[in-house]
Amino acid sequence: MRYISTRGTAPDLAFDEVLLTGLARDGGLYVPAEWPQLSADDLHSMADKSYNEVAFQVIKPFIGGTIDDADLMGIIDRAYATFEGGEVAPLVDIGGGVMLMEQFHGPTLAFKDVAMQLLGGLFDHVLKARGTSITIVGATSGDTGSAALEACRDKDALRVFMLHPKGRVSEVQRRQMTTVIADNVFNLAVEGTFDDCQDLVKAMFNDQPFRDRHNLSAVNSINWARVMAQIVYYVYAAVQLGAPDKAISFTVPTGNFGNVFAGYAAKQMGVPIKKFVVASNSNDILARFFASGEMKMETVLPTISPSMDIQISSNFERLLFDMLGRDGAAVAETLTRFRETGAFSVSEDAYAKAQELFVGARYDDTQTKQTIKDLHDEIGMLIDPHTAVGVAAARSTPETDGTPMVVLATAHPAKFPDAVEDASGVRPDLPARVGDLLDREEKAIDISGELAAIEKYIDDQSPLKSGAA
């Protein structure tokens, strides 16, 4: 399996190189040169398999022989042993033909753990095999950071610098990052928004001398391996609910488009997925795109679902690549225009194709809170604000032909206790496994949003133990 860049000019790479590289050298994102196929027999055979066994079968073709089968199975088993009760993606019926897929049983209480725990193991394995080390830089709107730090802490061959927008993540989210105290972990609290942080990370990758000096790598959702890990639960849910004989639809609370793109990948691999509802909060650039065919940037509004407070969904580039017939030059041209003018449109054809599969939906904070309250009143269940945006969207876009609608429940309600309490009157308890979070020591560095300041800070830290390539 080879990987190609969405902008068409970076070299093709194998899986282990894509894992370590993150962003392609032409500024694009790596995607598989072709989609591996799951036949009807493959899907039938998965119905009785465990999550980890399905993960192995889905992931193996993407690895393309760069990791031995036994090692891969070991990496998967260790990654998901960190999930409470070994449950990675259990389905829970909430009535009205809607199910939740609970993705928050990992160490940091959000779906990002599903990919990140696997990524930590993959990095460790590949770096050891190569005898090298890397510096990971990432931007987080909250959940990525903690998941990455938990997955990478105390691994000798990695340093992690995590940028978060100061004052714009919840207290629980912040503490889940700043209480990871390890020599290889650096939390940077940046003046600015999440998009500013993401731009800074991109700028570091585009600064070639800096990038080479530190052997930079990414764990953001631009890293292909994260998307790959997320494909698994779409396949797993589909076979639980009768694929390949029955179709399924998903509603995905969306920010960077990483999670929903993984669902799109499952569909390309042969899983019978009828529809994706792309659920946004007031930062509704994607909902507007799917309603009009025009991508138009607005300013970021803070909401009670902060992990979706994003205007530029970086993973959308992967879908755009397919929408534009895998023409890298056209992607580069379109995104340059977007940078310059804050808007772009796609052709009628491309838009029509996107509309066959994707529906956008937008719910503001008032509607989100109402949904949290409604579900609590109806069945006594508390959901987090991101999940609530998804539930609101799923309920307003019902399947009329009996196709099950699965909403990705992306965070545990206790990760956003203030918003959940405000909406429902009930304060969700932190699960016992993260019990003393609010009492642990915190460590973070306040820093301006200037690229030079951040690069200098990273330059000034002690170098990697083994020399960077």
Ligand X SMILES: *Cc1c(COP(=O)(O)O)cnc(C)c1O
Rounded Cα–Cα distance for residues 202 and 209 (Å):
14
CB of 300 to ligand X, least distance (A): 14
Smallest gap from Cβ 384 to ligand X, in A, equals 7
Phi, psi of 161 (to 5 degrees): -115, 115
- 8 Å CB contact between 409 and 102: yes
Q: Site for ligand X (CB under 6 A): which residue of 21, 82, 256, 311?
A: 256
Stretch that binds ligand X, among 199-207, 254-262, 352-360, 394-402 (CB under 6 A): 254-262
Show which residues are catalytic: 112
For 252-276, what is the HEC assignment?
EECCCCHHHHHHHHHHHCCCCEEEE
CB of 386 to ligand X, least distance (A): 4
Q: Does 28 bind ligand X (CB under 6 A)?
A: no
- If binding is defined by CB under 6 A, does position 411 make contact with ligand X? yes
Applying CB under 6 A, does 255 fall inside the site for ligand X?
yes
Q: Look-up: residue for tokens 């609970």?
A: 102
According to the binding rule CB under 6 A, does residue 458 interact with ligand X? no
Q: Yes or no: say if 222 and 257 are a contact pair by the CB < 8 Å rule.
A: no
Please answer whether residues 254 and 270 qualify as being in contact, where contact means their C-beta atoms are separated by less than 8 angstroms.
Answer: no
**Nearest approach, Cβ of 145 to ligand X (angstroms)?**
10
Q: How many CB atoms lie within 10 A of CB 293?
A: 17
Work out which of 16, 143, 322, 455 binds ligand X, going by CB under 6 A.
143
Minimum CB–partner distance for residue 65 and ligand X (Å): 28
Q: Does 308 bind ligand X (CB under 6 A)?
A: yes
Task: Say what the alpha-carbon torsion angle 201, 190, 288, 408 is, to the nearest 10 degrees.
Answer: 80
- From the list 146, 215, 240, 254, which residue makes contact with ligand X (rule: CB under 6 A)? 254
Q: Does 259 bind ligand X (CB under 6 A)?
A: yes
Sign, Cα dihedral of 302, 303, 308, 312: negative
303 is an interface residue for ligand X by CB under 6 A: no
Q: Is 258 a binder of ligand X (CB under 6 A)?
A: yes
- C-alpha count within 13 angstroms, C-beta hemisphere, residue 239: 26
Please identify, using beta-carbon distances, which residue of 82 and 259 lies nearer to ligand X: 259
Number of residues that bind ligand X (CB under 6 A): 16
Q: Which of 3, 15, 123, 257 binds ligand X (CB under 6 A)?
A: 257
Size of the chain in residues: 469
Residue 120 in contact with ligand X, rule: CB under 6 A: no
Please give the biggest Cα pair distance in the chain: 60
Q: Which of 55, 98, 110, 273 binds ligand X (CB under 6 A)?
A: 110
Which residues on neighbouring strands pair with residue 92, listed in sequence order?
100
Cβ of 420: how many Cβ atoms within 10 Å?
Answer: 26
311 binds ligand X (CB under 6 A): no
Binding site for ligand X (CB under 6 A): 110, 112, 143, 221, 253-259, 307-308, 386, 410-411
